[in-house]
A and B are shown apart, each in its own frame.
Chain A
């Protein structure tokens, strides 16, 4: 019986004894101890008088108290019921069952009924034995219906019953079961549900709880407190749940680990995150790769895999091999058979899909969709690097017409190529756009818009005085790292200290235009010229070298040529500038020719050196001629530099002495 009920009934008993007659609620209230009143006030949200009235009425309903409604004020009495009107134990048991079921809203076990009677001040004159016999009898006569048999009920009984005229759904019946085993199962299920949510949020498998975690959850439920005094009882309960004919859970034993983990019987190991249960570093890395793929939505570079490992220490390799090394090994399609030969790998968990910017990308499968995702990423990276939007804007209206036409036509070709690539990808994967592929529509729109803009600008650009190709030549000259060192290595303090050509890449990677290496075979080729995936574009490199380490003339020529050329390398668009009427335009042409090089332009430069009326321009052409490749020997002493003030003479002297590209750039 609840303490508050007992206190009220005791107060009533005392008040009735004092008054020798049924008493009102107000007298009962007055009889309560202050501590009892405070307890009542704290226990219920209602006022104390109201709580007392309700308790008294409750016990009237249960037949514990009688009530005299005839008097002005409702009066309660315990002993007013005549003996012959008292019900049989069987009937009173049935009444109690009905009240308990009504109150609890579910069917009950014998243990539940007894608890309820005690907690709620039920028919306390009935003892346990009487109730037990009455319940059995009522079941036989079908006044009570058994709704479910409960395993392991023990003293609480195995029958879950309710009055026959009550109707309960399956869920209510399930919830009614409250044996120790079922209680432990319920605790486990609560832990499991929470961990399932956490796993879904973290996009990984569920981490199964150990016994301690289940114990913690069970204790928090506040039932069966006495059972927790003996820790073995919980363990036994879990084992029992796993060992029955129809087990609900199973244990997981991990190699080298003492503690058992528990999982629902229907959940397979593959869907679990067993942490240190990975058998090998390959499994750990594969798991990290899996997670990274899920996050990124496609093949990932090592950095993404490392990020997953950093987030979960359980994925760190246990051995001494690096992540890169493990990945590389796992991605191999053949393995050592232990006898010096290599055989095909049977189960490939890690696939090397390709490289972007010298970063290898991995995936757990190499199906069509995965390859398309990678392809999309590669094209997108190329699109970003090509910065076509910025390049379109940089074509200014005041630029000489041939250069404007050349650059716009070049960009038109590039945009059409991208458009075609995007469209092909979109056509192939139209139903399955995830990861990088989900950005395809935006990329296509951007490409289309830019192309329209370029077409419009071309329409508005006047024709050149000479015929120029509709499609500029997009081929470029690339230099390997070794060639870079040969050409400009001695100019830069940073490059001077470089022994291994591969060290050049990080020094210049972000600042010089890089182009695909047509001689590339594979990243691990012994010849660095074949291992390099990209080359440094020559003209861009020379311009950068001029800016960073060059002399005044070199810097000036680079200042004129770089904004003029952009990425245009087709000499046919520069030639008209060298023949323009305006000296300023010829000057720009000279600067461009110097950095582009080539026999055709060199010939025109030679002509300018010898015949251009502008002495300053002749001086610039002289420098450009020496910068360009394929220039013939030139006797500078024959040149007329009339009206050219110093330091042109000094420049001529320097050119005479120049023995390398670096020397020329220093001028």
Chain B
């Protein structure tokens, strides 16, 4: 038997550290996700640009990963209509870098086909790289690419992606590009007529409605399945979550996980007071951290800021 502990003065003590239980992260498919999938695929045959936007933690990336996985599972090489999808997250390509369009194409190639030879990259024009990337897409049957955090791309970088799409269309290969982001992505896209004109669908991910929050609760914590929204207590729970987690599914999921670790009995529905306490525990420290950070930067004391209402 091996003890994890220290030996102090001849006494061996056992550690009381406990690891958290691993839990399966189940994906909860929501109506928003299905809607995004349907609307994106509806325009796919036109080789569109689709823009997905919405706040952080609202489920955009989860939806993209879900769709990519479903498409891969459904792919059948004998099905002429079948294709594959790729999802990747871009790194920042600001306006001031040299040849941002080429860099964007290189990023696309790296993420979806494989590493691009540096010598080939340097010696090739953006058009050559676009052609090479499209050839790779063809060989791998890739017709849909999710470009996540596209808000980090400059306008010229996005034009690089558009070049690839144009090349694909020219070669008779369908290629849909989904630009996913928050930031100023919608403004960026609209500022460029060349890009904006190719956008065939806008999907704005909104916060969950009460019914969707309830569905999420029921998926995350089975005891809620025996209850409904007509129940006043449940309405209070849903309202609390809507208010404190801003109807964002990512935050709701995270909160419920934290909440469940405080429950004595997992077969019970939590008390609203407990939910409030769990929320305040995090919220209070977040506020304290923010105040302290601001104080250090502005050389004001915490009391000063508090008295100023900061």
**Chain A residues at the B interface, C-beta cutoff of 8 Å:** 511, 544, 547-548, 552-553, 555-556, 558-560, 562-563, 583-584, 587, 613-617, 619-620, 643, 645-647
Contacting B77 at CB < 8 Å: which of A559, A587, A613?
A: A613
Contacting B114 at CB < 8 Å: which of A560, A614, A619, A620?
A: A560
Q: By the criterion CB–CB under 8 Å, are A614 and B77 in contact?
A: yes
Complex-state Cα separation, A547 to B132, whole angstroms = 11
Q: By the criterion CB–CB under 8 Å, are A552 and B123 in contact?
A: no
Q: By the criterion CB–CB under 8 Å, are A616 and B114 in contact?
A: no
Separation in Å of the B105 CB from the closest CB of chain A? Answer: 13
Q: Does chain A have a CB within 8 A of B260? A: no
Q: By the criterion CB–CB under 8 Å, are B132 and A552 in contact?
A: yes
Q: By the criterion CB–CB under 8 Å, are A548 and B136 in contact?
A: no
Given A547-B119, A563-B115, A646-B172: A556 and B135 interface contact (C-beta under 8 Å): yes
User: How many A-B Cβ pairs are below 8 Å?
Assistant: 62
Given A552-B131, A583-B77: A617 and B139 interface contact (C-beta under 8 Å): yes
Query: B109 to chain A: which residues have CB within 8 Å?
Result: 559
Separation in Å of the B63 CB from the closest CB of chain A? Answer: 24
**Nearest B residue to A562, CB-CB:** B117
Query: A556 to chain B: which residues have CB within 8 Å?
Result: 113, 132, 135-136, 139
Contacting A645 at CB < 8 Å: which of B123, B140, B172?
A: B172
Contacting A559 at CB < 8 Å: which of B114, B131, B138, B173?
A: B114
Q: By the criterion CB–CB under 8 Å, are A583 and B173 in contact?
A: no
Most buried by B among A511, A555, A619: A555
Can you spell out 12 A-B residue pairs with CB atoms less than 8 angstroms apart? A553-B135, A556-B135, A556-B136, A559-B113, A559-B116, A560-B113, A583-B141, A613-B78, A616-B141, A617-B139, A645-B138, A647-B171
Separation in Å of the A189 CB from the closest CB of chain B? Answer: 64
**Nearest A residue to B119, CB-CB:** A547
Q: By the criterion CB–CB under 8 Å, are A616 and B123 in contact?
A: no
Count contacts on B: residues with CB < 8 A to the other chain: 23
Q: By the criterion CB–CB under 8 Å, are A563 and B171 in contact?
A: no
Separation in Å of the B132 CB from the closest CB of chain A? Answer: 5
Query: A647 to chain B: which residues have CB within 8 Å?
Result: 171
Q: Does chain A have a CB within 8 A of B120? A: yes
Q: Does chain A have a CB within 8 A of B80? A: yes
Query: B116 to chain A: which residues have CB within 8 Å?
Result: 559
Contacting B117 at CB < 8 Å: which of A559, A643, A646?
A: A559
Given A645-B173, A646-B172, A647-B171: A620 and B139 interface contact (C-beta under 8 Å): yes
Separation in Å of the A593 CB from the closest CB of chain B? Answer: 15
Complex-state Cα separation, A619 to B132, whole angstroms = 15
**Nearest A residue to B139, CB-CB:** A616
**Nearest B residue to A394, CB-CB:** B115
Separation in Å of the B139 CB from the closest CB of chain A? Answer: 5
Given A552-B131, A614-B77: A559 and B120 interface contact (C-beta under 8 Å): yes
Contacting A555 at CB < 8 Å: which of B132, B138, B173?
A: B132
Complex-state Cα separation, A387 to B86, whole angstroms = 33
List 10 tightest A-B contacts by C-beta distance, closest first.
A547-B120, A616-B139, A556-B135, A614-B77, A552-B135, A613-B77, A563-B115, A645-B172, A552-B131, A547-B117
User: Contact flags (1/0) for B103-126 with A, using CB distance below 8 Å?
Assistant: 000000100011111011001000
Query: A511 to chain B: which residues have CB within 8 Å?
Result: 119
